[in-house]
Structure 1
Amino acid sequence: MRAHLEEEYVAFVAARQQHLRRIAYAICGDWHRADDLLQTALTKLYLAWPRLQHEGGEEAYVRTILVRADIDEHRRPWRRERPTTSPPERTAPALLPFEERSSLLDAIRLLPDMQRRTVLLRHWLGLSVEETAAELRISEGTVKSHTSRALQALRSVLAEDRH
């Protein structure tokens, strides 16, 4: 890649990496998987960087990769499991105490995959129904249906938490 294109790529990643990591976490609900998704997305972005138009569509391109990579992982559960004869040298970091976690994120994690994706794309990232349908490769009616069901489920879970 030419030096100026690589500098643009590095600047984009430096500016947007944390935001994209949070999006990846919201999509999959696990920080370790989010890091894997982000690494996959940034690698694919690097390969596509010379042909991108650089008109602000880079982030949408990465979001699309994140969603599709997550779908791929769900279709191939064997890729997530790796047998080993020895345990890891260190354990995973402890999760935050329950009191510190956001009840909304907890409720979102309970949603089925497609409902979670549509809610995050529509309401967290503010994409339109059309944009969400294009990113998820589903019809606009399906986006509306998943979003409606997800919001109804979230309302009931959050109402139960308040009581």
Structure 2
Amino acid sequence: MDLAPKQSQSENLSALKSTVEQRLKNFMQDVTGRALVMMENATQGQQGIAMDLVQEAFISLHKSYSEKSTEEWYPLFYTILNNKLQDWRRKEARRSQPFSLFKKVSLDEDDLEIQDVIDETTPSPLEFLDQAVTIEEIQAAIRQLPVRQQQAFMLRAWEGFDTQTTAQIMNCSEGSVKTHYHRAIQGLRSALSHLNPYSGGSSE
């Protein structure tokens, strides 16, 4: 007599698992392209490493947060991805500096906060540049920025996260996010000014 309830419970679990798998598939289709661009920029074009980091982040997300809603997945995924990137960067820093194993490795070469930075809002990466500048040219310029500036810009401009959420993802203060983002925009305007004669570079 217990057979029917057990079958029903099994069917419910199977249906729930199927729903989670489908949600994850849809989520991956939405964010994979942008996440790969972010990681390729941060690893100086190492596509294999970028793919590994993104895949590992998806696996961790599914393993630890499958019960969360899709909306909650976005900041969680990028937080996991950021942590994996920082781990990779530390390993690379120690590999290039063998004796750094015995001291703290600093990865944030531009982490000093600028006081009174206005929290600039850029809904579209092209909005603050002339439309003649292409996404490819912007991405090439982004790759030349320090990694933390890249992250701040990509998370704010590409993903549309607010300053508070970006700070949580990057594990830093909101002031640091504002500083990184401000410097990223200045750097991009300067790097792309020769392609965009109407902008005249940054006036800040």
Does TM, normalized by the shorter one, top 0.5? yes
Aligned length: 142
- Unaligned 5+ residue runs, structure 1? 81-99
For 1:47, the equivalent position in structure 2 comes to 63
Asked whether 1:76 is paired with 2:76, we answer: no
Q: Which of residues 58, 71, 95 is equivalent to 1:56?
A: 71
Please give the residue correspondences for 1:25-40 in structure 2 after superposition, counting only pairs within 5 Å: 25-29=36-40, 30=45, 31-40=47-56
| Alpha-carbon distance in structure 1 between the residues aligned to 2:34 and 2:54 | 9
- Paired amino acid for 1:8: T
2:53–2:84: 8 Å Cα contact kept in structure 1? yes
C-alpha change, 1:106 and 1:55, in structure 2 (3 Å) is: closer
For 2:182, the equivalent position in structure 1 comes to 148
For 2:191, the equivalent position in structure 1 comes to 157
| Alpha-carbon distance in structure 1 between the residues aligned to 2:62 and 2:159 | 23
SS at match of 1:64: helix
Q: Which one has the bigger helix percentage?
A: 1
1:26–1:120: 8 Å Cα contact kept in structure 2? no
Structure 1 or 2, whichever has the larger Rg, is 2
2:57–2:77: 8 Å Cα contact kept in structure 1? yes
1:129–1:143: 8 Å Cα contact kept in structure 2? yes
C-alpha change, 1:55 and 1:24, in structure 2 (3 Å) is: closer
Q: Deviations over 1:4-48 (max 9, x none)?
A: 343133212321223322232232224322321121011111211
Q: Offset at 1:79?
A: 9.8
Q: Deviations over 1:82-120 (max 9, x none)?
A: xxxxxxxxxxxxxxxxxx971011011111000000000
* Structure-2-length-normalised TM-score: 0.62
1:37–1:70: 8 Å Cα contact kept in structure 2? yes
- Unaligned 5+ residue runs, structure 2? 1-12, 96-133, 198-204
For 1:9, the equivalent position in structure 2 comes to 20
* Structure-1-length-normalised TM-score: 0.76
1:25–1:33: 8 Å Cα contact kept in structure 2? no
SS at match of 1:53: coil
| Percent of aligned positions that are identical | 29
